[in-house]
Amino acid sequence: MMYTVNVLDETTARPRPEPALTLDFEVETVTVRDLIRRRVYDEVTEYNAGARERFRGLVVPEGMERALNSPTVPRPHRIDWEQQSARALEAFARGTVIVLVGDRQAETPDEPVTLRLGHPLDVTFIKLVPLVGG
């Protein structure tokens, strides 16, 4: 039996959520931390396998910030999913990434999330974009 989560991405610059990926879990209850870690794991695994030329994930990997602004920078080496997961959890703790489970905002990474068979759950990740000039 698999429980499905539809991951949606939203930013303050683009308020309509975009489908990012689908996650399947074998257990009925997970935590917000589990959702974040699993999402990051899948994104990094796909990138490291060469499925994407540019990394598009929940948070930008360390050292890639400069590469985003330069089209001539070669593809970086492999991304460590655990480091990336720690960065994503830190962004959640700082409030620069907000997680909506259904229509409710998650407050803590250890908050339980109940999944239902046959009823995919929408989880929206809102990335706050800083305002220009501060």
What's the pTM? Answer: 0.85
Between CA 34 and CA 109 the distance in angstroms is 8
pLDDT in tens, the chain (134 residues): 899 999 999 877 776 777 889 999 999 999 999 999 999 999 999 999 987 778 888 888 876 654 554 444 455 678 999 999 999 999 999 999 999 999 999 999 999 999 999 999 999 999 987 665 55
DSSP 43-86: HHHHHHTTS-SS---SSPPTT-HHHHT-TTSPPP-PPPHHHHHH
Between CA 59 and CA 97 the distance in angstroms is 9
pLDDT attached to residue 71: 44
pLDDT attached to residue 67: 54
Between CA 54 and CA 44 the distance in angstroms is 11
